[in-house]
Amino acid sequence: LLLSLLCCEFAFGVDPTVGFEKQQVSWKIQKPYDLQVSDRYNFSDGVHKLWVYTRDKPHNPHSPTKPRTELRFRQPQYSQGIWQFEGDFYVPSGTTGVCIMQIHGGRNSATALQIRVDGPGDLIRTGADLEHATFATHIYDKWIHLNVIHDVDHEMLSIYLDGELKHWEVNETYEEHYFKCGVYTQNNASEYMESRWKNINIWK
């Protein structure tokens, strides 16, 4: 399915969700452990707004990781098959050094995929011990539609922005996976980081 979808996308530009079925989802909010959810998260008019500061605590008092405010999807979790994350995201100018979307479960690292905002509004993919790759620029201050398709069995991953295939790769993974989105501090981060999300769906 994924290989045929890639071929059709190059030729015709199709809806990446064609052939998939929408799944039931549930999530929890991961946020600095010493704060209330409302201190770093807001949901209004169908939009999830998530923000964090570099001075914030991690999501767990025993975690060595950097600050985050993320939607961590508890359902579905998966270890085989072809799965797709879909959503519209908005990143305000000035937010940098941050991961805005993840697939957890890499072979030699925690994540199979991270989508980061870096530099002057560049989108970077990383994860699974592969080199960083810039696949979009000038993404600030506008809504962008994202589709990420993960074919676990064939170790394939593809990223679409506004219906256009921007990146695909062989992606080796080994454990149970789940999706995340929001803001997770990385190197050279701005003091304040924010992303907004709407129309989130997970497909199989």
pLDDT above 50 for 7: no
Question: How many alpha carbons fall within 13 Å on the CB side of residue 176?
Answer: 6
pLDDT above 70 for 8: no
Single-letter amino acid code for the residue at 107: R
Structure-block tokens of residue 142? 């506008």
Structure-block tokens of residue 35? 């704060």
- pLDDT (0 to 100) of residue 130: 67
- pLDDT (0 to 100) of residue 174: 72
Average pLDDT of the residues of the chain: 91
pLDDT above 90 for 71: yes
- pLDDT (0 to 100) of residue 119: 87
Single-letter amino acid code for the residue at 159: I
107: CATH: 2.60.120.200
CB 92 within 8 A of CB 141: yes
176 versus 194: which is more confidently predicted?
A: 194
pLDDT-derived band of residue 26, with 50, 70 and 90 as boundaries? Answer: very high
pLDDT above 70 for 127: yes
- In sign, the C-alpha dihedral spanning 194, 122, 164, 70 is negative
Question: 33-37, 43-47, 75-79: which has the minimum mean pLDDT?
Answer: 75-79
What letters, b where the CB count within 10 A reaches 16 and e where it falls short, cover 66-77? bbbbbbbbeebe
Instruction: Measure the CA angle with vertex 74, ends 69 and 77; round to 5°.
Output: 125
User: How many Cβ atoms sit within 10 Å of the Cβ of residue 194?
Assistant: 20
Alpha-carbon distance 155 to 170, whole Å? 6
Strand partners, 197: 48, 89
6 versus 71: which is more confidently predicted?
A: 71
Single-letter amino acid code for the residue at 129: D
Q: Is residue 93 classed as helix, strand or coil in its secondary structure?
A: coil
What letters, b where the CB count within 10 A reaches 16 and e where it falls short, cover 160-172? bbeeebbbbeebe
pLDDT above 50 for 152: yes
**Domain with 17 in it:** 2-203
**What is the reported pTM?**
0.92
Question: Region 62-79: what's the mean pLDDT?
Answer: 96
| Domain count along the chain | 1
Question: Region 32-61: what's the mean pLDDT?
Answer: 98
170 versus 106: which is more confidently predicted?
A: 170
